[in-house]
Amino acid sequence: MPPAKSVTAKRIVRKSNARPGFETAWDERKVRGIRILQVPTIAKLPWLIHGFSTKPGGVSDQNGEKVLNLGFAEWDTKENVLENRRRFQSALGASDLQLISLEQIHSDIIHLFNAAPAELCRGDAVATNRPGLLLGVQTADCVPILLVDPKKRAIAAVHAGWRGTLQRIVVKAIGQMQMHFKTKSADLLAAIGPSIGGCCYEVGTEVAAQFLSQFPEAPDWFDEFRTGDEPNPIQWLNMMPPGHQPPPRNVLLDLRKANRAHLLGAGLRAPNIFVSDLCTACRRDLLFSYRKEGPQSGRLLSVIGIR
Ligand SMILES: [Zn+2]
């Protein structure tokens, strides 16, 4: 195994010419029709398994198309989902690991497991330093974040929608890793997987107001609609205009940018944060989007485990 430090150092040099922190060179692993997205730097760790699922392959039937739906849904059978999960784990080389997923509730609840729990737990992040467990979060627009501490050999999987992001769930998950595994933030590698992009994620100005009231850098995470006439909603929110001014329309929120900022704020080094630029809403050929597909949407699964 090459020393982790030299690997990291090489990547800093290479990426200093590109957009810092925005890693577009993700690997795609194709196994029997299933396509899995991986971060090369993380995939190099021989004791670790990780991957972000995509839509193609699988046995679920979504409007006549065979898809890899990895979350239980009204429109799909339990058998299909279990078979899809089996195929996904097999494609990852993780058949012998025990998948742990949560009943996700857009909270900031983080679970630490030494072994697979007897029943489904409610929460939105899970962490461990034990081998044999495959930690997973399900998404279809929300941001999946995988964390690895290569020194202490500890991992976490985080589900961050706008509510989780507002509650700083990824920062709190790192806090748990620091407390329980003695993780140092500067050692952590983070992969922010495919999610709805700032191009497509429309939220109400009341959501923007909550972010703006909590995070000084929040104006960077929002964008106005480029339709022409209406006032800039971000400016409108910052200026606290008089009540008679016309209310602004919705704004666009870049959740990945927000979570990347949280990671940097928590002490991660920019070259150790890998952000997928794939948008679930733009890439319906490759990904699932709840915003675009509604209740008929499938679920992506992002997993990480110690062999
Ligand atoms: Zn988009």
- CATH code for the domain in which residue 31 is found: 3.60.140.10
Same domain, 226 and 107: no
How far is Cα 131 from Cα 122, in angstroms, rounded to an integer? Answer: 22
pLDDT tier at 65, thresholds 50, 70, 90: very high
Q: Is residue 2 part of a domain?
A: no
CA of residue 283 to ligand 1 center, whole Å: 7
CA of residue 195 to ligand 1 center, whole Å: 9
Same domain, 18 and 84: yes
The phi and psi torsions of 173 (rounded to 5 degrees) equal: -65, -40
* pTM beyond 0.85, yes or no: yes
CA of residue 200 to ligand 1 center, whole Å: 4
pLDDT at site 23: 44
CA of residue 57 to ligand 1 center, whole Å: 23
CA of residue 197 to ligand 1 center, whole Å: 5
Stretch among 5-19, 57-71, 185-199, 236-250 having the lowest mean pLDDT: 5-19
CA of residue 282 to ligand 1 center, whole Å: 4
Contact predicate 101/303, CB 8 Å: no
CA of residue 148 to ligand 1 center, whole Å: 27
The phi and psi torsions of 160 (rounded to 5 degrees) equal: -130, 100
pLDDT at site 266: 98
Domain containing residue 236: 202-251
Same domain, 186 and 217: no
CA of residue 150 to ligand 1 center, whole Å: 32
Same domain, 86 and 225: no
CA of residue 278 to ligand 1 center, whole Å: 8
pLDDT at site 121: 96
pLDDT reading at 228 higher than 90? no
How far is Cα 264 from Cα 213, in angstroms, rounded to an integer? Answer: 19
CA of residue 303 to ligand 1 center, whole Å: 23
How far is Cα 141 from Cα 293, in angstroms, rounded to an integer? Answer: 11
Rounded to the nearest 5 degrees, what angle is found at the Cα of 135, between the Cα atoms of 134 and 138? Answer: 120
Contact predicate 193/51, CB 8 Å: no
How far is Cα 9 from Cα 15, in angstroms, rounded to an integer? Answer: 10
Q: Is residue 7 part of a domain?
A: no
How far is Cα 69 from Cα 287, in angstroms, rounded to an integer? Answer: 10
pLDDT reading at 216 higher than 60? yes
109's tokens: 């609840």
pLDDT reading at 20 higher than 50? no
Amino acid, single-letter form, for residue 181: F
Contact predicate 53/65, CB 8 Å: no
Amino acid, single-letter form, for residue 120: L
How far is Cα 28 from Cα 40, in angstroms, rounded to an integer? Answer: 10
Same domain, 232 and 125: no
Secondary structure of residue 71 in the 3-state scheme: coil
Return mean pLDDT, the chain. 89
| Cα dihedral value 84, 139, 76, 51, nearest 10 | -10
pLDDT at site 21: 43
CA of residue 88 to ligand 1 center, whole Å: 25
115's tokens: 């072994």
Same domain, 301 and 210: no
| Cα dihedral value 106, 303, 133, 178, nearest 10 | -60
Secondary structure of residue 147 in the 3-state scheme: strand
Number of domains in the chain: 2
Summarised one tens digit per residue, pLDDT across range 103-157 is 999 999 999 999 999 999 999 999 999 999 999 999 999 999 999 999 999 999 9
CA of residue 279 to ligand 1 center, whole Å: 5
CA of residue 294 to ligand 1 center, whole Å: 16
Q: Is residue 9 part of a domain?
A: no
Q: Is 70 left (phi over 0), alpha (psi -120 to 50) or beta?
A: alpha
Same domain, 37 and 185: yes
Same domain, 163 and 68: yes
Same domain, 221 and 295: no
Summarised one tens digit per residue, pLDDT across range 177-211 is 999 999 999 999 999 999 999 999 999 989 999 99
Same domain, 28 and 170: yes
CA of residue 144 to ligand 1 center, whole Å: 16
Amino acid, single-letter form, for residue 57: G
Same domain, 111 and 75: yes
Choose among 67, 58, 71: nearest CA to 32: 58
Q: Which residue has the higher pLDDT, 41 or 232?
A: 41
How far is Cα 7 from Cα 300, in angstroms, rounded to an integer? Answer: 29
